[in-house]
Amino acid sequence: MPRETLSIPCRVESLAVLAADGQLDKNLEPQVPDADLRKLYKTMRASRRLDERCLMLQRQGRMGTYGPSKGQEAASLGVAYGLNKGDWFVPAFRETAALLWRGWPMHTWMLFWGGYEAGNEVPPGVNDLPTCVPIASQCQYGMGIAWGCKLRGRGQVAAVFCGDGATSEGDFHEALNFAGVYNLPLVMVVQNNHWAISIPRHCQTAAQTIAQKAVAYGFDGLQVDGNDILAVIAGTREAVEKARTGGGPTLIEAVTYRLSMHTTADDPKKYRKDEEVKEWEPRDPLPRFRGYLKQKGLLDEKVEQVIDEEISAELDQAVRNYEAHRFDPLAFFEHMYAEMTPDLRAQQAELKAYLNRKKIETTEAQRHREEGENNESHRRPTAAR
C-alpha cells in the first residue's frame, strides 16, 4: 500500500496591497472610484471618532460597558464595501465602521452600548443582523442566512464576522462545516486582533494561520492584512464573486490588532506589554489609508477639516438622540419572545409593582424629610433661644 502526501485541492494565500511603510503594490491595487475612496475614508474616520466619543460617554457614566474597535476599522469596512447592498451582513461587536457604511445611524450604536433594546433595531431596508456579543453564535446565523440565500437563488451572499477567540468555539466549526458541505455563498471573516480579552492568539490554536482552518472544511482560506483596507477590499471581492457564482464559501482571516482595551471593563496593562501595542501603532489602518489618499491627491488638510467638522456635527446630534431616549426597565421583559410567556408577564408585573412601591416610598421619604426640615427650621430658632 502506498504512503504519499495528498494533494489537497484547497489554497491558503496571504494578501497585502499597501505595506506598513506606505509602499503600494500596483499590481494588486483594487480599482475603487475616487468618490468611494473619499467616502470610505470619511466612514473610517467617523468610526474612530464615534469610538472615542463612546469611550468618553462611558467614562462619564453616560453609557454602559463599551467595546472599542480602534485599529480594526479597515477589516470590517473593506468587507462591507465588497458586498452589495442586498447582501447580508452579520456582525460580531467590533464592526462599527462597517455598520456606519451599511446605513446604521450613530445613535443606534450608542443605544446598543447604552443597554437599550433600540440599539438592536436594524434600519429599514438594511440586510443586517444586530451586533452580537455571545461569542461565535452569529456564525450559525450567518451560515443559515447563506443557506437561505442559496435556496432563494437571487444571487445574494452572506458575510459573517467573528474574532480569533471565537474560532475555539464549536459554533464556528459547525458553521464552516455546514457551509462547506452545502457549498453555501458564505464569506466567514475572522478579525484576528491577536487577543481574546486576556488570551493571546497563540493560545487559541497551534495552527500557523486561522485561514488554513478552511482546508479541513473543503474550501479556500485567505489571510489578508486587515489593517490595509485595499487588501481587505481585494480579498472580499474575490470571495464574494466566488460565492455569488456558485463557488461556495471562503474563510478570510483579517490580521489586525486591538489597539485599545477589550472593553471598558478591563485593563489590558495587566496582561499585555505596552511595547506590543507600540509595535502595532505604525500599522494603524487610518493613517495608512490617509497616506494613500494623499499620494493620490484625494485628500489634503482642507478636505480633512471639512470631513472632521461634518463628523463633529453628526456626533453631537447622535449624542442628543441617544440621551433623549427614555429608560424603561419594564421593557426588558418584552424582547425575548414575540409574545411574552406567562412567567415573563408575572415577572414584569412584579417589577412594576415594586417600582410603584418604590415611587411611593421615595415620595413618602421625601415628604417626611421635608416635614422634618420644616419642623427643624421651626425648632431651630426656638432651640437657639
Catalytic residues: 258, 262, 271
How many Å is the Cα radius of gyration of the chain? Answer: 25
| Ordered alpha helix ranges (H), 245-329 | 274-280, 285-295, 301-323
246 binds, among Mg ion, ligand TPP, none (CB under 5 to 8 A by kind): none
Q: Closest-CB residue for Mg ion?
A: 163
In whole angstroms, how far apart are CA 229 and each of 12, 15, 54, 213, 302?
Answer: 20, 11, 24, 23, 23
For 144, the grid coordinates are 443559515
Question: CA nearest 328: which of 115, 15, 21?
Answer: 115
**From candidates 156, 193, 209, 260, binder to ligand TPP by CB under 6 A:** 193
**From candidates 54, 99, 132, 196, binder to ligand TPP by CB under 6 A:** 196
The amino acid at residue 113 is W
3 state SS of 196 = strand
The whole-angstrom separation of Cα 278 and Cα 355 is: 50
By DSSP bridging, strand 186-192 and strand 88-90 are unpaired
Closest to ligand TPP by CB, 114 vs 165, is 165
Largest CA distance in the chain: 113
Binding segment (CB under 6 A) for ligand TPP, from list 10-18, 131-139, 179-187, 277-285: 131-139
The whole-angstrom separation of Cα 201 and Cα 208 is: 10
Kindly state the number of chain residues that form the binding site for Mg ion, as judged by CB under 5 A: 5
Closest to ligand TPP by CB, 138 vs 250, is 138
Q: How far is the CB of 222 from Mg ion (least distance, A)?
A: 18
262 binds, among ligand TPP, Mg ion, none (CB under 5 to 8 A by kind): ligand TPP
Binding characters for ligand TPP, 279-318, by CB under 6 A (x = yes) = ----------------------------------------
DSSP class of residue 372?
H
For residue 314, count other CB atoms closer than 10 A to its CB: 17
The whole-angstrom separation of Cα 242 and Cα 370 is: 73
Closest to Mg ion by CB, 203 vs 330, is 203
**Which residues in 325-364 contact ligand TPP (CB under 6 A)?**
none
The amino acid at residue 190 is V
Kindly state the number of chain residues that form the binding site for ligand TPP, as judged by CB under 6 A: 15
Binding characters for Mg ion, 165-204, by CB under 5 A (x = yes) = x---------------------------x--x--------
134 binds, among Mg ion, ligand TPP, none (CB under 5 to 8 A by kind): ligand TPP
Q: How far is the CB of 201 from ligand TPP (least distance, A)?
A: 8
Q: Does 142 bind ligand TPP (CB under 6 A)?
A: no
Q: How far is the CB of 74 from Mg ion (least distance, A)?
A: 16
Q: How far is the CB of 109 from ligand TPP (least distance, A)?
A: 16
User: Partners of 195 in the beta sheet?
Assistant: 200
**From candidates 77, 129, 135, 159, binder to ligand TPP by CB under 6 A:** 135
166 binds, among Mg ion, ligand TPP, none (CB under 5 to 8 A by kind): ligand TPP
Cell 468618553 belongs to residue: 56
Q: Does 197 bind ligand TPP (CB under 6 A)?
A: yes
Q: DSSP secondary structure string, 356-379?
A: HHHHHHHHHHHHHHHHHHHHHHHH
3 state SS of 158 = strand
User: For residues 55 and 270, is the Cβ–Cβ distance under 8 A?
Assistant: no
Closest to ligand TPP by CB, 156 vs 193, is 193
Rule CB under 6 A: which residues touch ligand TPP? Answer: 94, 133-135, 162-166, 193, 195-197, 258, 262
Site residues for Mg ion per CB under 5 A: 163-165, 193, 196
